[in-house]
Structure 1
Amino acid sequence: MRFGVSAAAIIAAIVFTVMGPNATYAQGRPASVQTEIVSVARMSETSRVFGQVVAERESEVAARVPGIAAEIPVRVGSRVEGGDILARLDTELLQIEVARAETELMIAEAGVLVAEARLDRALKAFGRAENLRASANISDATLEERTSSLAEARGLRQEAQARIASARNAMDRAQYNLRNATVRAPFAGVVLEVSTEIGQYVTAGSRVVTLLDLGQLEVQANIPAALIEALRPDEPVKGTTGTGVVLDLELRAILPTEFSATHTRPVLFDLIDSDANVAVGQSVTLDVPASAPRDVLVVPKDALVQSRDGWSVFVNDDGIAAPRTVEIGDAVGGSFEVLSGLQPGDEVVVRGNERLRPGQPIAPNNGAGAGTSDGGERPPASAGAAASQSAPSPSGDDEEGSLQPAAATVPSGVDGTETARTGELGRG
């Protein structure tokens, strides 16, 4: 009896080993799979170029008046707002000059009063002389003297008024010097360099601090001239820093110059996110468009199975796994362009296709946690395969398996740029 039971167990084990996961198929039960619909996506081929973060505005803030530096409240790295104090000069002499100018103005104003009084007397004397002349009671010499005195009084009044204007100019200058003895930030930014020390004599026009405007950062890149026509202000460009920060960029200006050695032109991009964590001089890799976007039919990478005849997929044909030979093109995100073999709306198997056979019944199970037809988890795509340099082509020596797609990258050898045949997936 024990021998019979052992023999039956051995036979069952042999059957399971031979049939394996296909036992359910042999028994006519449909294989559990996951499927996706073949759709149209917008593909944009891009070229990879290298640029760097630059400051649109960096200023060497200078002193407007000479003097001795008395106070410097900032240091390298200080963040300041527009109007904040960067340095103060000694103002003792400047205050004396303001007081002197005020005194000179008062003297000039008093001089005008004196000149107007003299003019008034001269006018009255001349009037009396005119009346006496009519009655012949005054000589011609006396009348000429009164006329000369009137002209002199008028001239003295004009001179006094000119002295007031001069005194006011001196007053304005003294106040200007006193006011500008305090050096203020012309805009908000970060202090990159302090060029003056306390006690140091500062001449007019000499640099006090260097100020960087962090609110006006942009990315500059030298773009190959052949790619300039593909740039559009309404099409954002992706950039990635060396630390992995992804930047959304917008075309600002294409400078009308070209470097003859590299056939590139300088192009400026605005940072859409002004709060991005970047630094001036930081390297940025940009994916700029190499051609106009186009709509293509795409198939998920996990649907592709390689065989000796090329790439194929399993299509859900009313619950039956129907094989289709396909011709694939460029990578588009996590999918591949379909050149032939499929139509929009086709339902292809993306999980559980490893052990499917033509004509095998299938049962799509697209819920969360669905596994493969053999009840196991499908292994994830390896990172190395996802970073391969080109879409693999089938070979007669390759084993059957699913495709791990990648963006094909072809170095251009011009000014450190490289062309990336990648697409951005956008449902059409």
Structure 2
Amino acid sequence: SRLEQHLDQMQKLRIVAPYDGVVMSHLAQPGQLVNAGNDVVEFMQANKLEVVVHVPFTFKSQIQSGSFWKVETLDNKTYDAEIIQFVPAATGSSHTIEVRLLLNSTDLWAGEAVNVLVPTQAKQEVIAVPRDALVIRNNGIFVYTVVEGKAHKVDVIPGMAQGEMIQVKGLLSEGDEVIIRGNERIRPEQEVQVIN
């Protein structure tokens, strides 16, 4: 019937988004004739934001699809964002690479300014101890470990610090107990009692 034809035509005029989101802007007006494939709205998926950052070409080895970078808001909230796309060539005179990250967050707003923390070297496993474990003397830097109830001096070379922890290089293994209180007064091989 004629009514069914009109309803069918009306159904073909309706555009349904494939996911929940927000219309950011209208690119065509109601009643305007558009070609197939032309955009009619700019649409944003509300819980999946895309972060675009231009990274110096010197960090190209850190850019890998599927890896995660930290995104930090101006109020110091940190989120993980996945690299979903990048152009493997430096752009223009700036010698930067455009990287697109997918951020799954409902806390942020589209257009909000963020900082992207770009890892400058590959992740590596390190030994880190509390800063208070370091004993600094004129003849070097060391920590005391506890082995069978006795203090053992282990020379270390401090590295990068983050918060209360500091990377150390030396003859330490994961799981070694280090002394963090009273270590300034301890002597090697002195008997100690561990208090957690």
Q: TM-score, normalised by structure 2?
A: 0.72
- SS of the residue corresponding to residue 59 of structure 2 reads helix
The 1:282/1:257 distance shift into structure 2, 3 A limit, reads farther
Q: Which residue of 2 aligns with 1:285?
A: 115
Is the aligned partner of 1:268 residue 2:84? no
Give, as a single letter, the amino acid of the residue that structure 1 aligns with 2:157: E
Q: Which residue of 1 aligns with 2:73?
A: 241
Distance in 1 between residues matched to 2:100 and 2:27, nearest whole Å: 30
Q: Which has more strand, going by share of residues?
A: 2
Q: Which residue of 2 aligns with 1:204?
A: 32
The 1:205/1:256 distance shift into structure 2, 3 A limit, reads farther
Q: How does 1:324-343 map to 2 (within 5 A)?
A: 324-331=154-161, 334-340=164-170, 342-343=171-172
2:10 corresponds, among 151, 174, 179, to 179
Q: Which residue of 1 aligns with 2:133?
A: 303
Q: Which residue of 2 aligns with 1:250?
A: 82
| 1:171-226 alpha-carbon deviations (Å, 9 max, x no partner) | x7xx49x838x975542432445799xxxx966249xx955322452111111212
Distance in 2 between residues matched to 1:252 and 1:192, nearest whole Å: 22
Deviation at 1:269, TM superposition (A): 1.1
For structure 1, which runs of at least 5 residues remain unmatched after alignment? 1-98, 103-171, 367-428
Q: How does 1:145-156 map to 2 (within 5 A)?
A: none
Deviation at 1:279, TM superposition (A): 1.3
- Paired residues in the alignment total 184
Give, as a single letter, the amino acid of the residue that structure 2 aligns with 1:230: Q
Distance in 2 between residues matched to 1:266 and 1:286, nearest whole Å: 13
Give, as a single letter, the amino acid of the residue that structure 2 aligns with 1:268: R
Quick check: 287-296 or 246-255, which moved more?
A: 287-296
1:220 corresponds, among 33, 48, 52, to 52
Q: Which has more helix, going by share of residues?
A: 1
- SS of the residue corresponding to residue 351 of structure 1 reads coil
Give, as a single letter, the amino acid of the residue that structure 2 aligns with 1:179: M
Q: Which residue of 2 aligns with 1:116?
A: none
1:351 corresponds, among 159, 181, 193, to 181
User: What value does the CA root-mean-square deviation take over the aligned residues?
Assistant: 3.6
Distance in 2 between residues matched to 1:315 and 1:361, nearest whole Å: 11
| 1:286-326 alpha-carbon deviations (Å, 9 max, x no partner) | 22332333333333322112222332212224433343332
Which structure's relative contact order is higher, taking Cα pairs within 8 Å and 6+ residues apart?
1
Report if aligned partners of 2:25, 2:43 keep a CA contact under 8 Å in 1. no
| 1:106-143 alpha-carbon deviations (Å, 9 max, x no partner) | xxxxxxxxxxxxxxxxxxxxxxxxxxxxxxxxxxxxxx
Give, as a single letter, the amino acid of the residue that structure 2 aligns with 1:204: Q
Distance in 2 between residues matched to 1:279 and 1:332, nearest whole Å: 29
Give, as a single letter, the amino acid of the residue that structure 2 aligns with 1:310: G
Deviation at 1:235, TM superposition (A): 2.9
Report if aligned partners of 1:247, 1:276 keep a CA contact under 8 Å in 2. no
Give, as a single letter, the amino acid of the residue that structure 2 aligns with 1:306: I
Report if aligned partners of 1:189, 1:211 keep a CA contact under 8 Å in 2. no
Q: TM-score, normalised by structure 1?
A: 0.37
Deviation at 1:359, TM superposition (A): 4.9
Give, as a single letter, the amino acid of the residue that structure 1 aligns with 2:150: I
Higher Cα radius of gyration? 1
| 1:265-288 alpha-carbon deviations (Å, 9 max, x no partner) | 1011112x3x43111111222223
Report if aligned partners of 1:231, 1:289 keep a CA contact under 8 Å in 2. no
Quick check: 218-227 or 183-192, which moved more?
A: 183-192
For structure 2, which runs of at least 5 residues remain unmatched after alignment? 35-39
Give, as a single letter, the amino acid of the residue that structure 2 aligns with 1:263: H
